[in-house]
Structure 1
Amino acid sequence: MLWTRPRLVTALLALLLASELVRTGFVVSALPLAGPGLGLSGAQIGVMVSAHYLADALGRGPMGLVTERWGLGRVLAAGAALGLGVLALTVLAPSPLWGAVLAALWGLCFGALWPGVMSASHAYALPGRTARALTLTNLSVAPAILAGVGLVGPLMQGCPGVGWGVLLGAQALALLLALGLWRLRLPVSEGGAPPGLGGGVWHGWARVGALLPAAFAQTLAPGLLVTLAFPLLRELGLGLPDLLGPGALAGLSFALGLLALGRVADRLHPRLALTPGLLLLALTFALAAWTGPAEVRAGGLWGLALGLGLGYSALITGWNGLVARTLPERHRAAAWGTVMAVEALGYAVGPLLGGAAWQLAGQHGVFGLGALVFVLTEAYYLWPARRLRAAGSGP
């Protein structure tokens, strides 16, 4: 058990999974495959998707403050209702204008969901298990995202009516779950503000600001590869079946790393997991920059998979533990939203820089740039400055 209120956290996780299944299925599968048949052009679909994600990213910080004032449950219910409205309008009366407006409003309320769930997981985590609770929360949504692609996509290709039914049913479930959480307000602090901490809205935000450059950089590095998976496989002479074994090794090492390093981050200090993880990822990316087809055939891909699995398990557990120690108690949801918005910005910029590096230097440029980003992030964490020690990264 990781939380003091497991039923509440489970309900929030179920809401998150249902919502992400619908969003992924709608954006990745339904709109591209069924949208043209509903009279929506590619450009109009792009506007709807961009409006949604832009509102989500930009709204995460401000919506955290809104949830502190109005209550998390009410905002989540509004977002679930808007999501149901977007789906129904798209199926029954598709409109590019109103579709984009409602999609943006849905994204704005969606911007409260992730920070709210992370804040709840943080607030109700058992003492000494915060990093593990936050890491499990982060990773729990993966099956829903996979289902949005692997389940809804084939349904939209073969039986669109059934596909839309799955999305509408899942979103209706999300609305019911959100209504069950209508009165939910997250606690400000278990024992009130610590001595010397005022209640002003800006108190403690300097510590959050110290996290933001690293939050951006560590999502920028994997973002470099978002659009380059298939070009990289082609250059290395690999197919998707060749990745099954190394992928399984990466997943296994990632899971084992989470179990071991989560305890280190909780019981000792998050930096003891974070800094080795960054160094291992920098080394792995540097090796990947010079791993050609011959090295891949000689088993090099297996070593890279092991490095990625262990490196990312250390990075995620250490980062979640560090953020948990840093965010101001009185405005935890808003602070989570701010950090996650900057992380989203890193993922958004990554493909642009990755594409440019690929154009200039191919595989060497992309992975070399990723290694440099991890090294710079490591240097930032190790920089013996007051602001980082104030942010909780010092021993």
Structure 2
Amino acid sequence: MLWNQPTLMLRLLTLLVVSEAAHFGFFVTALPLRADTLGLNAALIGTLMGGHYLADALSKGPMGYLAGRYGAGWLLLLASVSGLMVMLLAQGSLLGGGAPPYLALLGLAGLWGVMYGSLWPIVMGYSQTLARPERLSRALALTSLAVVPGLALGVGVLGPLMQRSEDLGINVLLGLQGSATLLALSVVGLRGTPQPPQTRASLSELLRQWRGVGLLLPAALAQTLAPGLLVTLLFPLLELLGLSMLELAFPALGLLIGLGLTLWLAGRMADRTCPRRALLPGLLLLALSYGVLALPHPETRLWAALPLLGVGYGAFLTGWNGLVGQVLPQGQRMTGWGTIMTVEALGYAIGPILGGLMWTAYGHTGVFATGAAVFVITLAYYLLTAPSQATQPRHKAPSL
């Protein structure tokens, strides 16, 4: 078992997956598919989504601080309730009750974004606090992948379901968000991160504690910018390659196998030795895979590039999460996770803009060459400036 108190951690992970499923289901599936019924055009939907995601990204640091300082459970409940309010407001319109007041929907979506900003810092903070010290990298890497089943359920399952039966799809969406609210109620008593014995630190001590976090921020921006280059280019790339989604499935299976195997094997190495021993080779493999795809006729090399990409991401994820877990100040982990995730969100925001420019100017070669360059620069940055392994003291796991 990766964590102490596995039942508590299972509830938090389930809450995270269900919340992400409802989150993606509403913004990526329900809104675009039912835009006409809601009386919204593409510009209004874009504003709604952009405002929500901006509020989510910018609030992660402050909400992490509030969760660590004053308690996490009530913030998780507020995040779930605010999402339920947005969906209930839109429900009448989605079921034919007329267009909702747009400003009210926009305001509630912004409130949901602020509250939702607490979810990832809290779950990552508790995953770190509850993780067995000898399995920290693997526990954090697995937690960070919880978004994948949420995305698959909210888009891959709910999308076709809503296309077949709108009423059933909407009810399933409300059921997901209602389930998230019930799960949040089950952990409403969660407190903040246990504080170290010396609760009042000097300014120099605070600067020392946060110096390692500060050194990670430029790399956090760069390493999310690179995959962000491809966010809006999936279907143009498939058209260029002459492939359908079904035809991509077999090479993608190699990516998933490489990711799964490396996630565990590299995680064992990162936990037993040093996270950088997984992180640095992972970045090198990511740069190589992007470089291979930047060459002409990338469709002839997918069989090699995608498994290589999976191996690279598996090593990178375990190394990165293990390194962050070692660097964050013990009593301020949720604040630290929130701060790093805010910077990561900025990387995902900049990536599609840069990717679109490179695609327009240089095609797929420009996009993948830019990604490879970003990974190489990030690798060089870690070699020159990233903090080395630091041993965290064992701590008592929190309880309800």
Q: Which amino acid aligns with 1:67?
A: A
Mapping for residues 1-20 of structure 1, pairs under 5 Å: 1-20=1-20
1:182 Cα deviation after fit: 1.3
Distance in 2, matches of 1:374 and 1:46, equals: 30
Q: Give the TM-score taking structure 2 as reference length.
A: 0.91
Return the match for 1:167 from 173, 186, 196.
173
Give the corresponding residue for 1:63: 63
Structure 1 202/112 Cα, relative in aligned 2: closer, same or farther at 3 Å? farther
Q: Tell me if structure 2 keeps the 8 A contact 1:225–1:351.
A: yes
Give the corresponding residue for 1:128: 134
Q: Deviations over 1:299-358 (max 9, x none)?
A: x21110121011110111100000001011111101100101111111110111111111
Give the corresponding residue for 1:85: 85
Distance in 1, matches of 2:126 and 2:177, equals: 22
1:291 Cα deviation after fit: 4.0
Distance in 2, matches of 1:44 and 1:195, equals: 47
Q: Tell me if structure 2 keeps the 8 A contact 1:210–1:391.
A: no
Distance in 2, matches of 1:15 and 1:203, equals: 34
Q: CA RMSD in A?
A: 2.1
SS in 2 for 1:151: helix
Give the corresponding residue for 1:301: 302
Mapping for residues 306-385 of structure 1, pairs under 5 Å: 306-383=307-384, 385=385
Distance in 2, matches of 1:381 and 1:123, equals: 25
SS in 2 for 1:131: helix
Give the corresponding residue for 2:268: 263
Q: Give the TM-score taking structure 1 as reference length.
A: 0.92
**Within the alignment, does 1:210 sit opposite 2:211 as a pair?**
no
Give the corresponding residue for 1:243: 248
Structure 1 75/202 Cα, relative in aligned 2: closer, same or farther at 3 Å? farther
Return the match for 2:227 from 218, 222, 226.
222
Structure 1 16/290 Cα, relative in aligned 2: closer, same or farther at 3 Å? same
Q: Tell me if structure 1 keeps the 8 A contact 2:60–2:118.
A: yes
SS in 1 for 2:134: coil
1:202 Cα deviation after fit: 6.0
Distance in 1, matches of 2:69 and 2:316, equals: 33
Give the corresponding residue for 2:191: 185
Q: Deviations over 1:214-245 (max 9, x none)?
A: 00101111111111122222223333233121
Distance in 2, matches of 1:54 and 1:373, equals: 24
Distance in 2, matches of 1:391 and 1:211, equals: 13
1:109 Cα deviation after fit: 0.7
Distance in 1, matches of 2:40 and 2:374, equals: 40
Return the match for 2:239 from 234, 252, 256.
234
Structure 1 193/286 Cα, relative in aligned 2: closer, same or farther at 3 Å? farther
SS in 2 for 1:173: helix
Return the match for 1:389 from 384, 387, 395.
387
Q: Tell me if structure 2 keeps the 8 A contact 1:64–1:116.
A: yes
SS in 2 for 1:4: coil
Distance in 1, matches of 2:388 and 2:142, equals: 27
Q: Which amino acid aligns with 1:309?
A: G
Structure 1 108/199 Cα, relative in aligned 2: closer, same or farther at 3 Å? farther
Q: Tell me if structure 2 keeps the 8 A contact 1:20–1:141.
A: yes
Mapping for residues 27-38 of structure 1, pairs under 5 Å: 27-38=27-38
Distance in 1, matches of 2:221 and 2:24, equals: 23
Q: Which amino acid aligns with 1:349?
A: I
Distance in 1, matches of 2:204 and 2:31, equals: 45
Q: Tell me if structure 2 keeps the 8 A contact 1:34–1:156.
A: no
Moved more, 63-72 or 228-237: 228-237
1:35 Cα deviation after fit: 3.2
Aligned length: 385
Moved more, 41-50 or 252-261: 41-50
1:57 Cα deviation after fit: 0.2
- In structure 1, the gaps of 5 or more residues are none
1:45 Cα deviation after fit: 2.1
Moved more, 332-341 or 284-293: 284-293
SS in 2 for 1:320: helix
Q: Which amino acid aligns with 1:303?
A: A
1:197 Cα deviation after fit: 7.7
SS in 2 for 1:249: helix
**Identity over aligned residues, as a percent?**
49
- In structure 2, the gaps of 5 or more residues are 94-99, 392-400
Q: Tell me if structure 1 keeps the 8 A contact 2:193–2:334.
A: no
Q: Tell me if structure 2 keeps the 8 A contact 1:215–1:339.
A: yes
Distance in 1, matches of 2:134 and 2:30, equals: 42
1:126 Cα deviation after fit: 0.5
SS in 2 for 1:204: helix
Q: Tell me if structure 1 keeps the 8 A contact 2:125–2:337.
A: yes
SS in 2 for 1:129: helix
